[in-house]
Amino acid sequence: MKILIQLGLLFGVCILGDLISSVLPFAFPGSVVSMLLMLFLLLSRWMKESAIEESANFFLKNMTFFFIPFGVGILRYAALIRSVWWQLLVVNLVSLLVCFAASSWTVVLVTRMQALWRRRRNA
């Protein structure tokens, strides 16, 4: 019964996130809204970690099962992918480099900001 209650809480937050997403005046994924809502609930301590711990651990341990439908979907379009594989490769390589650069610059910027804040505090 405890696991059903935990699943109900998780799915309730997901449904609420989808509802919030549907009334927003711009397109925003309901799953992201749900994750932000869950983060808010946990940080504000309106929901305890123990209230969803067992179900969340189950989902995390079995996360690979959630990727099976996407893998099957990719296989359905194998012929299309074969015809544009080089374009997908270029897009993936460019996005990899852009993400790498953005991450690197973010780390450098945050490190510099932290050093500046430490100097200001110690001054």
For residues 69 and 36, which has the higher predicted lDDT (pLDDT)?
A: 36
Kindly list the distances between the CA atom of residue 52 and the CA atoms of 36, 39, 40, 46, 95, in Å, as whole numbers in the listed order: 16, 13, 14, 12, 35
Its domain, for residue 50, covers 1-61
pTM score? 0.57
pLDDT in tens, 96-123: 999 999 999 999 999 999 999 999 998 7
Residues 101 and 121 in one domain: yes
Residues 50 and 101 in one domain: no
**Number of domains forming the structure of the chain:** 2
Residues 102 and 84 in one domain: yes
Nearest to residue 37, comparing CAs of 56, 50, 58, 19? 19
Residue type, 4: L
